[in-house]
A and B are shown apart, each in its own frame.
Chain A
Amino acid sequence: GESVGLHLPTLSVQEGDNSIINCAYSNSASDYFIWYKQESGKGPQFIIDIRSNMDKRQGQRVTVLLNKTVKHLSLQIAATQPGDSAVYFCAEIGTGGGADGLTFGKGTHLIIQP
């Protein structure tokens, strides 16, 4: 999993399995969260977002879960494919710190095994 402020971890999953990438945040005032995917040599690409008044949001093959009680965010990718190999990182937007309180995690490297 990933925590804002820690070194880049790696998650290895079999093709076709579900992947779960975790993110712990520390700012309880954060009210908006975004997951990004970054492929090698490319810029980060928006995947899905969630606001603090929700605890779950679904997209195409992806689901984001937010647990405000323990300040934890997760990204679930269903039926992982080779094209899902990338670094995934979360970003939080709150009321303090950085530009408009925007803080990025360092990312999790997702590796897909054939």
Chain B
Amino acid sequence: DVKVTQSSRYLVKRTGEKVFLECVQDMDHENMFWYRQDPGLGLRLIYFSYDVKMKEKGDIPEGYSVSREKKERFSLILESASTNQTSMYLCASRVGKNIQYFGAGTRLSVL
């Protein structure tokens, strides 16, 4: 069965903290994605990766970075968390131009 696992369901952090969101997939997919989802704005792509050590900016990369040291793991990093980064973060993976599978999401609150 397809599985994309996000390490935390809920996180509360303080402004200025460095935050790591981890995502692991067990399907040997090349492509992995990080989105944020906000009411009325839908899914917005932050960063994506086509392969190990490769990364591409999405539509809203400012304030974020990513790391892909292993094929199965894609990490999203908030270098200095701010209140406007309070959101639901979704990780996804896929192979080629096919179904994109999502994790359960991490709801991040920055105080």
Contact = CB atoms under 8 A, between A and B. Distances in A.
Interface in A66-112: 89, 91, 93, 98-100, 102, 104-107
Contacts of B43: 44, 89, 104
Given A98-B58, A99-B33, A99-B48, A43 B100 contact: no
Q: Counting chain B CB atoms within 10 Å of each CB, which of A8, A32, A99 scores highest?
A: A99
B42 A106 contact: yes
Q: Counting chain A CB atoms within 10 Å of each CB, which of B41, B42, B45, B104 scores highest?
A: B42
Interface string A24-57: 0000000010101000011111100100000000
Interface string B83-111: 00000001000000111111111010000
Q: How large is the interface on B (under 10, 10 to 19, 20 to 34, 35 or more residues)?
A: 20 to 34
Given A98-B45, A106-B40, A45 B97 contact: no
Given A32-B97, A49-B99, A43 B105 contact: yes
Given A7-B40, A105-B42, A106-B40, A44 B97 contact: no
Nearest to B48: A99
Contact of B90 (A8, A44, A102): A44
A106 B41 CA distance: 7
B42 A98 contact: no
Contacts of B56: 99
Contacts of A34: 99-100
A49 B40 CA distance: 24
Nearest to B42: A106
Given A49-B99, A89-B43, A98-B58, 13 more contacts: A8-B39, A8-B40, A32-B98, A42-B104, A43-B4, A43-B102, A43-B103, A43-B105, A44-B90, A89-B42, A99-B58, A105-B42, A106-B40
Interface of A: 7-8, 32, 34, 36, 41-46, 49, 89, 91, 93, 98-100, 102, 104-107
Interface of B: 4, 6, 31, 33, 39-43, 45, 48, 56, 58-59, 90, 97-105, 107
